């Protein structure tokens, strides 16, 4: 009888462990109060983010976390408040995940970001001043080569016979960079593939002559898509087989194929797109973050030229002649400076 009871106890214990640790993630929403602050805590399963909304003195401030899913709830432990004239800042703390501060100044959401004064240049290569490579690989166009930079390697990658001031169309996709053969005059019959993991170059021959007035639309699975505006023809390139095929006018929007008119497809801004739950954007030349189409939060007073890459909560952006990195948990830091970025920067900076 004792053995039977022990067996039942083991089964119950095993089921409990299974239910706690192995059941699938679930979206949830709950509200609770800490001091005078109403907290709305939610987890969005489809977007894999935690959202914390704080209502304080008729003001709503919000932060986000992409921390791995927890089986716990009521994650905010305490919230400190600081006020100064027209600014109020909340400093939430949790025992389960790192969080960052959020402020409201003149009815606008802001994040207090501190940046090191007079950061030191750690290295220089081919006129690029390097502050911090942030454990990433960079392919940087300098008019005659792609400069390949990471913590292990620095080298030049030459693919063209003559200097090129502007590369009109370049596509970063997965771990590769795709560039048409700009040594041709009016059309190209091959595309170069640069592998960001080792800097090796592969030449992909095409079966068609494609005019340079073309657009890279994006990548999907093992394919990249481009549209020849002059011929009104869309193509897809099988990267593994290195074969190109014709297809009808269509683009990928939120992982669904959508037919599109010739006029819209000819627009150079038309690309494959995906709505992001958390996003970065430029407004009035300043960098902002946005959560679920709301909670527009100013990140920095730097004047922003271009957002180079967004990856979860990370963003790489250009201000003056310097590439910067920002993450709400780490703040802003300069990465690389290049004097030519004062004048020319589009399709010149790629981060992997």
270 and 189 share one domain: yes
Q: What gap in Å lies between CA 135 and CA 125, rounded to an integer? A: 17
Q: Which residues contact 142 (CB under 8 A, 6 or more apart)?
A: 126, 127, 128, 338, 340, 348
172 and 266 share one domain: yes
Q: Is residue 156 part of a domain?
A: no
Q: Is residue 6 part of a domain?
A: no
User: Please, what sign has the CA dihedral across residues 25, 29, 30, 35?
Assistant: positive
Decide the pairing of beta strands 294-300 and 108-110: parallel
Q: Which among 181, 183, 172 has a CA at the least distance from the CA of 208?
A: 181
For 263-322, what is each residue's pLDDT tens digit? 999 887 899 999 999 999 999 999 999 999 999 999 999 999 999 999 999 999 999 999
- pLDDT over 80 at 1, yes or no: no
Q: Is residue 341 part of a domain?
A: no
What pLDDT does residue 6 have? 66
Kindly report the CATH number assigned to the domain that includes residue 219.
2.120.10.80
For 7-49, what is each residue's pLDDT tens digit? 666 666 666 555 555 556 799 999 999 999 999 999 999 999 9
What pLDDT does residue 22 have? 55
What pLDDT does residue 23 have? 57
- pLDDT over 70 at 198, yes or no: yes
What pLDDT does residue 115 have? 80
- Mean pLDDT confidence for 96-117: 90
Last residue of a domain, one of 248, 274, 300: 274
Q: Is residue 332 part of a domain?
A: no
Neighbours of 198 (CB within 10 A): 11
* Termini Cα distance of the chain: 63
**Could you tell me where the DSSP H helices lie in 22-148?**
none
Q: Is residue 212 part of a domain?
A: yes
Q: Is residue 34 part of a domain?
A: yes
Q: Is residue 318 part of a domain?
A: no
Contact 194, 176 (CB under 8 A): yes
For 75, 78, 160, 196, 292, the CA distances from 56, given in Å and listed in that order, are 18, 14, 59, 47, 21
What pLDDT does residue 220 have? 97
For 123-139, what is each residue's pLDDT tens digit? 999 999 999 999 999 99
This prediction has a pTM of: 0.90
- Mean pLDDT confidence for 53-69: 95
For 76-98, what is each residue's pLDDT tens digit? 999 999 998 889 999 999 999 99
Report CA 164 to chain centroid distance, whole Å: 27
Q: What gap in Å lies between CA 171 and CA 175, rounded to an integer? A: 11
Last residue of a domain, one of 227, 258, 274: 274
Q: Is residue 63 part of a domain?
A: yes
- Strands of 150-271, DSSP E: 154-157, 171-173, 176-180, 187-195, 201-211, 214-220, 223-228, 233-238, 243-247, 250-253, 256-259
Q: Which residues contact 297 (CB under 8 A, 6 or more apart)?
A: 62, 102, 109, 110, 111, 288, 289, 290, 291
- Mean pLDDT confidence for 190-213: 97
72 and 171 share one domain: no
Q: Which domain holds residue 221?
A: 167-274
For 138-183, what is each residue's pLDDT tens digit? 999 999 999 999 999 999 999 999 999 999 999 999 999 999 999 9
Neighbours of 101 (CB within 10 A): 17
- Mean pLDDT confidence for 194-207: 97
175 and 95 share one domain: no
What pLDDT does residue 2 have? 61
83 and 175 share one domain: no
Q: Which residues contact 331 (CB under 8 A, 6 or more apart)?
A: 113, 114, 115
Last residue of a domain, one of 240, 274, 308: 274
The number of distinct structural domains making up the chain is: 2
């Amino acid at each position: 009888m004792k053995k039977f009871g022990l067996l039942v106890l083991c089964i119950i214990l095993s089921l409990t462990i299974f239910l706690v640790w192995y059941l699938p993630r679930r979206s949830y929403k709950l509200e609770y109060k800490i001091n005078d602050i109403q907290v709305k805590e939610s987890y969005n399963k489809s977007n894999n983010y935690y959202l914390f909304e704080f209502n304080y003195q008729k003001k709503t401030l919000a932060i986000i976390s992409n921390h791995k899913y927890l089986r716990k709830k009521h994650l905010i432990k305490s919230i400190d408040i600081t006020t100064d004239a027209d600014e109020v800042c909340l400093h939430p703390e949790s025992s389960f995940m790192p969080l960052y501060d959020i402020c409201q100044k003149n009815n606008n959401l802001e994040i207090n970001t501190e940046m090191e004064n007079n950061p030191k240049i750690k290295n220089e290569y081919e006129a690029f001043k390097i502050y911090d490579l942030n454990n990433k690989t960079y392919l940087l166009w300098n008019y005659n080569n792609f400069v390949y930079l990471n913590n292990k390697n620095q080298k030049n990658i030459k693919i063209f016979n003559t200097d090129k001031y502007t590369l009109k169309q370049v596509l970063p996709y997965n771990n590769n960079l795709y560039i048409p053969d700009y040594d041709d005059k009016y059309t190209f019959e091959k595309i170069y593939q640069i592998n960001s993991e080792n800097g090796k170059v592969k030449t992909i021959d095409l079966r068609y002559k494609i005019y340079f007035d073309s657009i890279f639309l994006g990548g999907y699975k093992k394919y990249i898509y481009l549209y020849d505006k002059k011929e009104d023809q869309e193509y897809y390139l099988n990267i593994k087989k290195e074969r190109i095929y014709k297809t009808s006018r269509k683009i990928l929007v939120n992982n669904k194929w959508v037919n599109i008119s010739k006029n819209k497809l000819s627009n150079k801004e038309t690309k494959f797109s995906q709505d992001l739950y958390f996003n970065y954007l430029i407004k009035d030349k300043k960098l902002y973050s946005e959560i679920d189409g709301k909670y527009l939060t100013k990140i920095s007073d730097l004047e922003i030229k271009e957002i180079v890459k967004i990856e979860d909560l990370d963003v790489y952006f250009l201000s003056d002649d310097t590439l910067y990195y920002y993450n709400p948990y780490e703040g802003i830091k300069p990465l690389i400076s290049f004097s030519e970025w004062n004048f020319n920067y589009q399709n010149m900076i790629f981060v992997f």
